[in-house]
Structure 1
Amino acid sequence: MLIYLNGQFINKEDAWISPFDHGFLYGIGLFETFRVYEGHPFLLDDHLERLNEGLDELFINHRFTRDEVNKILQELIEVNKLTNAYIRLNVSAGIGEVGLQVEPYLQPNLIIFPKPLPPAGDLSEKKAVLLKIKRNSPEGNMRLKSHHFLNNVLAKREIGNEPDIEGIFLNEHGYLAEGIVSNLFWIKGNVLFTPAVHTGILNGITRQFVIQLGWKNKLHVQEGLYSMEQALEADEMFVTNSIQEIVPITCFEGTHFPGKKGKWVQQLHQDYQQYCNFLWSRHSVGRE
């Protein structure tokens, strides 16, 4: 498998960066994960918008455009003979002296990792379990999709490698937050609920897209502070991320849900699949 590293397509075994990179020394770096569907990088504009906002926060002096990144992606999937792919786009601060730096980083490292994926298909279900470890507070004003991932790693170790289980965090104040690698949603009647960003969650790109789909389907969207007991009263529950898309939950702490048989889960999944081969941004999905 070839990866992209700072202008070159190289074998992953040959890739290296300096140990003086502040992404390694101090965790100053960001990443985005998304899917390519039949050659199209789904919601790329939204991912780059979040990435560029994070680069501002970290004083990394580069801004990525759709044309720049898509050109690289098309070459990358071509040389790897991929049509449907997992993409991880990683930006680290670049080389600096040992010590905390306050000046902007002028030469970041860009690495793009591809992995093959099968074409998008049917809904896959998971069970949800409540984690003992709490969601940590963001390091700054908002949670960045950054190299600071220890909280998630410890949570994953808590539940193990079972692929059909997702761990759900409470935040430090006891409110529902998010999954280890996902955002959390539930539906009661015609209301779509999801924890608010100020609970400390990552404002996922798929989260934002599903909220847009909720509006399109005339669901009332409510973002707020919720207890687990409130969520367990739901008619349907699901989690989202950019690789797994919409994942219905069948059971959460002993309470059962319809999973992929849920009416709204099926509708949102159907809508999702209609867009994934061509949509650049959620902003192109109007409220009807």
Structure 2
Amino acid sequence: MYVYVNGEILPKEQATVSVFDHGFMYGLGLFETFRMYNGKPFLLAEHLDRLSHSAEEVGISYSFSLHEVQKVLDELMMANGLRDAYVRWNVSAGAGGLGLQSGVYTTPTLIVYMKPLPTMPSSKRAHILSLRRNTPEGEKRWKSHHFMNNALAKQELFHDPQAEGIFLTKDGYLAEGIVSNLFWVKEGTVYTPSLSTGILNGVTRKFVIRLLEEQGTPVVEGLFTRTELNAADEVFVTNSIQEVVPITAVHHTMYQMSTVSDGLRQAYRKAVHEL
């Protein structure tokens, strides 16, 4: 694997950052994960827009044009011999002193990882996690280096590593998956937890909601409990790498794989083809 680090493309063994990088020391880092389809990044502008706004709120001075991003991606694809790929675009605060600082970080560390796509599941099982979703570090959740809550949740699934874990909030409301956003269908209406639960406003989440609205499917965002999920006709999760994944069961509750998730997958693939 070759990795991009601050203007250089390096073998992974040579890719390093400073031990004083505040992304390592204090978790002051942000990232976007997206997918390359035949050399083209999908929903790239949306990912970079979220990253830019998050960096501004965290206090990291960062800017990169779409043209510059595509140039980096082209170079990494050539180095790694890939056209379809998993990409993590990572911006950390950069090296600082020992101790927190209140000013803006003006020399961030940019790292871009690229690897072959993993095997894509046609469906998944899910489990309600006993570990509750932590609250966002700020007013809203960023896609940041603060991943301890997710890592501990993944350990909870050691008995079923291919399953997705579903977080509840501290108040018992449905939140999101460990690496996904959650949706379910009841009598033709699609439901998904509100951003007020503290979930990540996923780029794919927003895109899927837009696809549903274009199809004329009602979408309701709100505060929901396991009772609503148990009564659902079908359940699915979304993320930028796996797209739309039907959930066949949550614990012992089984769900059908019906027309809504199938239609979404077809619409998603059509959008990718148009790219």
TM-score range, shorter chain: over 0.9
Question: What does residue 88 of structure 2 align with?
Answer: 88
234, 259, 265: which one pairs with 1:269?
Answer: 265
219, 235, 238: which one pairs with 2:217?
Answer: 219
With over 3 angstroms needed to count, the CA separation of the structure-2 counterparts of 1:51 and 1:277, relative to structure 1, is farther
Query: Alignment partner of 2:211: what SS?
Result: helix
With over 3 angstroms needed to count, the CA separation of the structure-2 counterparts of 1:85 and 1:161, relative to structure 1, is farther
Q: CA separation in 1, counterparts of 2:155 and 2:59?
A: 32
Q: How does 1:84-163 map to 2 (within 5 A)?
A: 84-117=84-117, 124-160=122-158, 162-163=160-161
Query: Alignment partner of 1:186: what SS?
Result: strand
Report deviation, 1:163: 4.4
Report deviation, 1:278: 4.7
Q: CA separation in 1, counterparts of 2:10 and 2:175?
A: 39
Question: What does residue 246 of structure 2 align with?
Answer: 248
Query: Alignment partner of 2:60: what SS?
Result: coil
Residues paired across the two proteins, number: 275
Relative contact order (alpha carbons < 8 A, sep ≥ 6): 1 or 2 greater? 1
Q: CA separation in 1, counterparts of 2:202 and 2:185?
A: 18
Runs of at least 5 residues in structure 1 that lack an aligned partner in the other structure:
280-288
Q: CA separation in 2, counterparts of 1:3 and 1:214?
A: 36
Q: How does 1:23-34 map to 2 (within 5 A)?
A: 23-34=23-34
Q: CA separation in 2, counterparts of 1:109 and 1:83?
A: 25
Question: 1:42-94, CA deviations, whole angstroms, 9 ceiling, x for partnerless residues?
Answer: 00001001100110111101122211111110111122110100001110000
Q: CA separation in 2, counterparts of 1:265 and 1:253?
A: 20
Report deviation, 1:161: 6.7
Q: CA separation in 2, counterparts of 1:59 and 1:253?
A: 42
Moved more, 152-161 or 46-55: 152-161
User: Would the aligned equivalents of 1:45 and 1:66 in 2 still touch at CA under 8 Å?
Assistant: yes
What TM-score, normalized by structure 2, do the two folds share? 0.97
Q: CA separation in 2, counterparts of 1:161 and 1:124?
A: 20
Q: How does 1:168-247 map to 2 (within 5 A)?
A: 168-247=166-245
Moved more, 74-83 or 263-272: 74-83
Report deviation, 1:164: 3.0
Percent sequence identity over matched residues? Answer: 52
Give the RMSD, CA atoms, in angstroms.
1.4
Question: What does residue 258 of structure 1 align with?
Answer: 256
User: Would the aligned equivalents of 1:40 and 1:277 in 2 still touch at CA under 8 Å?
Assistant: no
Q: CA separation in 1, counterparts of 2:274 and 2:91?
A: 25
User: Where has structure 1 moved over 2 Å in runs of 4 or more?
Assistant: 161-164
Runs of at least 5 residues in structure 2 that lack an aligned partner in the other structure:
none
Question: What does residue 18 of structure 2 align with?
Answer: 18
